[in-house]
Amino acid sequence: MSKSKPAIQATSSPRQAAYTTLQRLVNSDLHADDLIDQELSHNQLQGPDRGLFAELAFGVLRRQGSLDHYLKQLVQQPLERLELPVLLLLRLGLYQLRYLDRVPSHAAVHATVELTNVILPRAKGLINGVLRSYLRQQESLTLPDPAQQPVAWLAAAYSLPGWLAEQWLQQFPQSEAAGLAAASTEIPPLTLRVNSLRTTRNALLERLQAAEFIAEPCRFAPEGIQILQRCQITSLPGFTEGLFMVQDEASQLVAHLLAPQAGQQILDMCAAPGGKATHLAQLMNDQGCVTATDLNARRIRRICESAERLGLTSIQAVAGDALGNDYLEGMQFDRILLDAPCSGLGVIRRNPEAKWRLTPAEISRCAARQRLLIDAAAARLKPGGVLVYATCSTAVEEDEAVIKDFLSRNPEFVVENGAQFFPEWADLFDNSGYLRAWPHRHGTDGFFAARLKRIDR
């Protein structure tokens, strides 16, 4: 595949902006949501074009596997031999034809050909021909047989890399694996965590509804509110007053599982951008100390900014390497949260570019680091203390396997069944007492958490 052209500057065309965003993501570690926010901040796109741009960029990433499956049936040569601009333009055009009902077919083809004339004029004929072939042949395009080729079928039908389709089919029956895969292609809700030190959920709901935002309380998280429409976070009532933090519902449950108490010494080991650290301080009534650490000094600033906006003073944010020999030397904590860096498989509906970058080898590397991190956390926990290990991954290798390995080497730790502490969340806990939230079952991000207690000897 040939190298891409230099990035195009901000434009008033939503399709060109989407193309540029997709191009910049190829072979990079950039994040789609950051690039989309960047583009929107230029204010070149106005009105409905802003929504169309975000829909195209995120939509192509979410549906890339399915789009490529159909393109293979329409293009004469292997897709890997196409120039990158051609492949991106074909994905953009086909996404509109297959998944965007509000864009008429003739308009989608015409707009994609016009964009090709700007990006790579000599490819106009190819782009036009393939998209028109789709319109003629769409009813005859096929998927693999789910009975004979379950992995290939799941990957093509629900836009997954083959290794992830295989992994989910090992974890679930085919019908439920399909449910998880389908949920992972959907647009996730915007979820807020109410700052209960400044307002109540009902009061904020009333303000949102008075301002004509469509909002409802979350099913599980007691401080959670879902916004059921597209909006700018900073435009929501109460943002500047620090009445809420943006945080997925499953992520909100983790601080409750740790159950910090006022006056305690709490450690949040991998704390940026600060959602859980600020939640811990909130649950402690801002009394005690939450030591929030992260490797990156810039990300530490984000924790401080969030704490300041929410009016929290009990958070001490410190840049530091949790695996360094001098990490918080001599300090011991009553409770520790280790929200371990992970593959992010549970949040691919929010970060769809991640599923095309990840490999099984990367998951194994994450798991190896997670085993070191949980050992470092255990070394900082007081006898009788509580440690919660959490990830936003669906992979057993990063979750149950890490806990099993840790317990085999640390007999002074035991698993505490979360359902005993939170019977109202019984649906969220498995037979081992681990919290397992799933997009297709609970409408949340995919999350894993284990509550471990160090026995006081």
Nearest to 267 by CA among 275, 277, 257: 277
Placement of tokens 């650490």 in the chain: 293
Distance between CA 21 and CA 57 in Å, rounded? 7
Distance between CA 159 and CA 396 in Å, rounded? 21
CA distances from 162 to 45, 155, 156 (A): 36, 6, 9
Sign of CA dihedral 402, 408, 411, 415: positive
Distance between CA 378 and CA 386 in Å, rounded? 9
Distance between CA 350 and CA 188 in Å, rounded? 7
Active site residue 392: yes
3-state secondary structure of 318: strand
Write the DSSP assignment of 173-217 as a string of letters: -HHHHHHHHHHTTSPPPEEEEE-TTT--HHHHHHHHHHTT--EEE
Catalytic residue among 218, 289, 342, 392: 392
Placement of tokens 């991190």 in the chain: 373
Number of neighbours of residue 210 by Cβ within 10 angstroms: 9
Placement of tokens 């519902």 in the chain: 249
DSSP state of 429: B
The alpha carbon of 428 is separated from its chain's Cα centroid by a whole number of angstroms, namely 19
Nearest to 397 by CA among 426, 358, 428, 427: 358
Q: 293-300: long-range contacts at Cβ-Cβ below 8 A with a sequence spacing of 24 or more?
A: 293/267, 293/268, 293/269, 293/317, 293/318, 293/319, 293/320, 293/322, 293/327, 293/328, 294/270, 294/319, 294/320, 295/319, 295/320, 295/321, 295/322, 296/272, 299/272, 299/273, 300/272
Nearest to 56 by CA among 11, 19, 7, 109: 19
Strands 333-339 and 381-391: parallel
Active site residues: 392
